[in-house]
Amino acid sequence: MMVLMQQPNSIEVEVKIAIADLPAVVARLTELGFLPIGERKFESNTIWDTPEQSLRASGEIVRLREYGPLRLLTYKGPAQPGKHKRREELESELTSLDACERIFSRLGLAPTFRYEKYRTEFQSTATPGMVTLDETPIGNFIELEGEPAWIDTTAHALGFPESSYVTSSYATLYVDYCRGLGTEPRHMTF
What are the b/e assignments for 178-190, b being 16+ CB within 10 Å? eeeeeeeeeebee
Q: pTM to 2 decimals?
A: 0.91
pLDDT tens, position by position, for the chain (190 residues)?
Answer: 344 444 455 899 999 999 999 999 999 999 999 999 999 999 999 999 999 999 999 999 999 999 989 999 999 999 999 999 999 999 999 999 999 999 999 999 999 999 999 999 999 988 889 999 999 999 999 999 999 999 999 999 999 999 999 999 999 999 999 999 999 999 999 9
CB 143 within 8 A of CB 61: no
> Rounded to an integer, what distance in angstroms lies between the CA atom of residue 46 and that of residue 62?
8
Give the number of other CB atoms < 10 A from CB of residue 7.
13
> Rounded to an integer, what distance in angstroms lies between the CA atom of residue 133 and that of residue 21?
12
What topology is assigned to 9-181 in CATH? Hypothetical Protein Pfu-838710-001 (2.40.320)
